[in-house]
C-alpha cells in the first residue's frame, strides 16, 4: 500500500510540474543549457554571403574555388574591395537527363527516380546557380547584398546573409519512464492529449522505403535503438574513397556532415539523435523507447554544430541533398530549428525543389512564446508560401499550448506534444545534451516537430502516391480540435496520427460557379460551396491562387497563394471572398482548389478579373 501511495504522489508531483511549465535544468560540463527564449535579433555568419546568380551565369564546376583565380569582374572587385577568399557551390555539378522534356513530364506525376531527374528539379529552382562567397574579414552582408544587386543586376538574382538558426529545445533530466505523447493511459479517452499512436499502428507501422531526412546535429550511429535504422545509399560502395554514384559526395553511405564535409554525421550535441529517435527509433524490440514510424529509415544530414547552431548555407545544402536522395525514398525532412530573420530566398528555392520531389518538410514554430504572424520565424513561416512546409507548435499533457511555444493563426499549422518528451540522445556525456545512459527528457517545438515527421512518414507509408500537399492536409484537417488552439493555429488543434490515416477516396465536387460578385466594393469573388464527398458534407480547406496569366498545372507553383483563405462552409452554402485591396491595377486569373480531410482535391473554374 505504501508503495502504491508513493507512486501516486510522484505522479501527482510530475503532473503539477508539467502544468506549471517550469523547466528543470542542469548544467552540462559547466555550460548552462539553452534558455527558453532566443534573441529576436537575426544572427548571421559575418564572413559569408549567399548569392543566387541569374540564368546563363556560369559558376565554376568545382565545389570550392579560390576567388582570386576567377577572371569575372564581380569576383575580382570583391577580392580587391572586401577580401573575397573563395566561392563554394551549394549544390554539386550534376548530370542532367538526356531527354529533359520527357523527364519533366514524368516528374509532374511522380518523385524523381534517378540522380539526373533530381538534378533537373534543383536546376528548375536555381539551386545549381547558388554559392556562398567567403571573405577573409567580416562584412556587412545586408549592405553588401544591396550593393551587389545594384551594381550587377544582370549577374545577380538575389543575395542574402548566411543566417544562423537555432535548435528548439529546453532540456531537463529524464523523469518519465513512459511516453505519454504516444498513448496517455492516465486520462479518460475524451481528455487524451497524445497523438493516438497505437490506433495508428493498427493501420500501419511504417515502411522501410519511406526515409526521413533529419537535418540536425547528426546522430549517434551506435545507439542500440538507432543502429539498424539508418538509411543506406545503394549507389555507394562503403569506404572505397570513390564517389560511386556521381552525386558529388564520396562514400556517403548513411548521410553527410555538411560542417566538416565528410561522411561521418556524428552527433556532438545530442539534439539530432533526440529528434531521430522520436520520429523513427527502432520499436517493438524491448529496448528504450518507441519511435512514431517503426519501419522508416533515418537519413542523418548534419548541418548543426556542437552548440546547436545551423548556418543557412548548410541547411540549403542538406535540403538539396535530400532532393537527390528522393530517388531512394526520402519523403520527409525534419527541421527542428529556426530563428528570426528576413526572407530566405535560397532555402525557399531548395524547399520548393523538395516539393517537386514529393518531399514534405516539417518545421519547428519556435520557443519564444511569440505570435509568428507578427514576427516572422524561419523556416516555418514558409508554410504560407509552399505546399510542402508544415509549421508545428508544442502542446502539453493538458491539451494546452505550451507556455514557451510560438503560435500564429496564419503561419503556424498544427500542434503536437512538446512537453516532457522522452527520447534518445548521444551517450557522450561531454556533449551539450549528452547523457551516459543515452536517455533524455525535455520540452520544445523541436520534439513536437519530430513527432509530426513520424506521423507524416506513416501517412506516406499508407498512401505512398501522396503529394506533399495531400500529406499536409491530412495532418491539419484531422487534428483533434482544441478550443484553446482555435484562432492560434491554422488547424486549431493537435495532430492525431490515427485520424490522419483515414481512408477516403471520394474527392470534393469541383466549384463550377466561381465568379465576380456584382456591384460591390471592394471587389469580391463568390461561389457555391461543394462538399467533403462530392456535394455532401463539408470540405476541409480552400487554396485560393491568382496570377497575371492563366493558371495551368505547370504554372500553379508560380501563382500567388492567399495566406488566409476562408474555411469551407457546408455544401450548397453561398460563399464570398474579398480580393485584396493592395493588388496593382491589371488583369488577374483566380483559381480555388478544394481539399477534403484525406487530401483529395478538386479545382474550380478559373475566372479572369481586371482590377481597376
479: Cβ contacts below 8 Å, ≥ 6 apart:
414, 415, 491, 492, 493, 494, 495, 496, 499
Q: How far apart are CA 230 and CA 221, in angstroms?
A: 8
612: Cβ contacts below 8 Å, ≥ 6 apart:
585
Let me know: does 184 contact 197? Beta carbons within 8 Å. no
Q: Which three cell numbers stand for residue 522?
A: 471592394
Residues 514-529, buried b or exposed e (16+ Cβ, 10 A)?
Answer: beeeeeeeebebebbb
Q: How far apart are CA 376 and CA 388, in angstroms?
A: 18
Let me know: does 338 contact 168? Beta carbons within 8 Å. yes
Helix axis angle, 445-462 to 468-477, nearest 10°: 120
* 546: β partners: 560, 590
- The CA-based angle 392-393-396, given to 5 degrees, is 135
> What ranges in 426-467 are assigned the alpha helix state H?
445-462
Q: How far apart are CA 544 and CA 363, in angstroms?
A: 23
Phi, psi (degrees; rounded to nearest 5) at 181? -70, -15
Instruction: DSSP for 495-520, please give it.
Output: --HHHHT-----PBPPP---EEPTT-
Mode of pairing for the β-strands spanning 84-89 and 64-66 = antiparallel
Task: Note if 223 is an active site residue.
Answer: no
Q: How far apart are CA 252 and CA 266, in angstroms?
A: 13
Task: Note if 271 is an active site residue.
Answer: yes
Q: How far apart are CA 182 and CA 452, in angstroms?
A: 11
Q: Which three cell numbers stand for residue 391?
A: 509549421
Q: Which three cell numbers stand for residue 403?
A: 507556455
Sheet of strand 524-528: strand arrangement: 515-516, 524-528, 574-578
Sign of the torsion angle spanned by Cα atoms 415, 421, 423, 428: positive
Phi, psi (degrees; rounded to nearest 5) at 494? -105, 140
C-alpha separations of 305 from 218, 332, 376, 507 in Å = 9, 22, 24, 45
Q: How far apart are CA 118 and CA 111, in angstroms?
A: 9
Q: How many CB atoms lie within 10 A of CB 260?
A: 11
Phi, psi (degrees; rounded to nearest 5) at 562? -70, 130
Which candidate in 128, 184, 194, 216 is catalytic? 216
Closest CA to 418 of 452, 444, 450: 444
Phi, psi (degrees; rounded to nearest 5) at 201? -65, -20
Task: Note if 405 is an active site residue.
Answer: no
Which candidate in 293, 380, 405, 446 is catalytic? 446
Closest CA to 563 of 331, 421, 362, 384: 384
Which candidate in 116, 271, 396, 543 is catalytic? 271
Let me know: does 376 contact 384? Beta carbons within 8 Å. no
- Positions annotated as catalytic residues are 216, 271, 446
Amino acid at each position: 500500500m505504501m508503495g502504491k501511495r508513493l507512486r501516486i504522489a510522484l505522479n501527482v508531483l510530475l503532473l503539477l510540474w508539467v502544468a506549471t511549465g517550469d523547466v528543470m535544468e542542469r548544467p552540462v560540463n559547466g555550460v548552462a543549457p539553452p534558455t527558453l527564449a532566443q534573441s529576436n535579433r537575426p544572427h548571421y555568419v559575418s564572413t559569408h554571403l549567399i548569392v543566387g546568380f541569374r540564368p546563363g551565369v556560369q559558376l565554376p564546376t568545382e565545389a570550392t574555388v579560390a576567388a582570386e583565380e576567377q577572371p569575372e569582374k564581380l569576383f575580382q572587385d570583391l577580392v580587391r574591395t572586401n577580401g573575397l577568399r573563395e566561392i563554394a557551390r551549394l549544390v554539386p555539378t550534376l548530370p542532367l537527363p538526356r531527354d529533359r522534356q520527357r523527364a519533366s513530364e514524368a516528374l509532374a506525376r511522380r518523385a524523381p527516380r534517378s540522380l539526373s531527374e533530381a538534378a533537373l528539379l534543383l536546376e528548375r529552382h536555381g539551386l545549381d546557380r547558388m554559392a556562398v562567397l567567403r571573405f577573409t574579414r567580416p562584412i556587412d552582408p545586408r549592405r553588401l547584398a544591396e550593393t551587389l544587386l545594384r551594381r550587377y543586376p544582370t549577374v545577380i538574382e538575389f543575395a542574402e546573409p548566411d543566417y544562423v538558426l537555432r535548435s528548439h529545445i529546453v532540456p531537463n533530466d529524464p523523469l518519465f519512464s513512459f511516453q505519454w505523447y504516444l498513448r496517455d493511459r492516465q486520462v479518460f479517452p475524451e481528455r487524451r492529449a497524445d497523438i493516438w499512436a497505437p490506433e495508428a499502428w493498427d493501420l500501419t507501422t511504417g515502411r522501410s522505403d519511406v526515409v526521413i531526412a533529419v537535418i540536425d546535429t547528426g546522430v549517434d550511429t551506435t545507439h542500440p535503438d538507432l543502429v539498424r535504422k539508418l538509411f543506406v545509399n545503394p549507389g555507394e560502395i562503403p569506404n572505397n574513397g570513390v564517389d560511386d554514384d556521381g552525386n558529388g559526395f564520396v562514400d556517403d553511405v548513411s548521410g553527410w556532415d555538411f560542417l566538416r564535409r565528410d561522411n561521418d554525421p556524428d552527433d556532438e550535441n545530442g539534439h539530432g539523435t533526440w529528434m531521430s529517435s522520436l520520429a523513427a527509433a527502432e520499436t517493438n524490440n524491448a529496448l528504450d523507447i518507441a519511435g512514431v514510424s517503426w519501419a522508416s529509415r533515418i537519413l542523418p544530414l548534419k548541418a548543426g554544430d556542437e552548440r546547436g547552431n545551423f548556418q543557412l548555407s548548410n541547411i540549403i545544402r542538406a535540403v538539396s541533398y535530400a532532393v537527390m536522395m528522393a530517388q531512394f525514398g526520402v519523403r520527409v525532412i525534419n527541421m527542428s530549428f529556426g530563428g528570426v530573420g528576413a526572407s530566405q530566398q535560397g532555402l525557399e528555392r531548395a524547399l520548393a525543389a523538395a516539393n517537386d520531389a514529393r518531399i514534405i518538410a516539417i518545421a519547428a514554430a519556435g520557443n519564444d512564446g511569440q505570435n509568428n504572424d507578427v514576427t516572422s520565424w524561419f523556416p516555418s513561416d514558409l508554410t504560407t508560401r509552399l505546399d510542402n512546409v508544415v509549421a508545428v507548435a508544442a502542446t502539453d499533457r493538458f491539451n494546452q499550448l505550451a507556455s514557451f511555444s510560438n503560435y500564429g493563426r496564419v503561419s503556424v499549422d498544427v500542434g503536437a506534444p512538446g512537453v516532457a518528451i522522452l527520447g534518445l540522445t548521444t551517450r557522450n556525456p561531454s556533449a551539450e545534451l549528452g547523457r551516459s545512459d543515452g536517455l533524455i527528457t525535455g520540452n520544445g517545438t523541436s520534439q513536437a516537430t519530430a513527432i509530426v515527421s513520424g506521423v507524416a512518414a506513416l501517412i506516406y507509408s499508407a498512401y505512398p502516391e501522396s503529394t506533399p500537399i495531400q500529406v499536409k492536409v491530412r495532418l491539419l484537417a484531422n487534428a483533434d480540435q482544441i478550443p484553446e488552439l482555435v484562432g492560434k493555429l491554422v488547424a486549431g488543434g493537435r495532430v492525431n496520427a490515427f485520424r490522419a490515416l483515414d481512408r477516403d477516396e471520394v474527392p470534393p465536387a469541383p466549384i463550377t460557379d466561381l465568379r465576380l460578385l456584382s456591384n460591390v466594393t471592394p471587389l469580391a469573388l463568390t461561389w457555391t460551396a461543394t462538399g467533403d464527398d462530392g456535394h455532401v458534407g463539408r470540405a476541409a480547406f480552400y487554396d485560393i491562387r491568382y496570377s497575371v496569366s492563366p493558371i495551368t498545372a505547370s504554372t500553379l507553383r508560380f501563382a500567388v497563394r492567399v495566406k488566409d483563405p476562408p474555411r469551407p462552409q457546408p455544401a450548397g452554402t453561398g460563399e464570398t471572398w474579398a480580393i485584396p485591396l493592395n493588388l496593382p491595377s491589371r488583369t488577374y486569373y483566380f483559381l480555388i482548389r478544394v481539399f477534403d480531410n484525406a487530401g483529395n482535391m478538386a479545382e474550380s473554374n478559373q475566372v479572369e478579373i481586371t482590377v481597376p
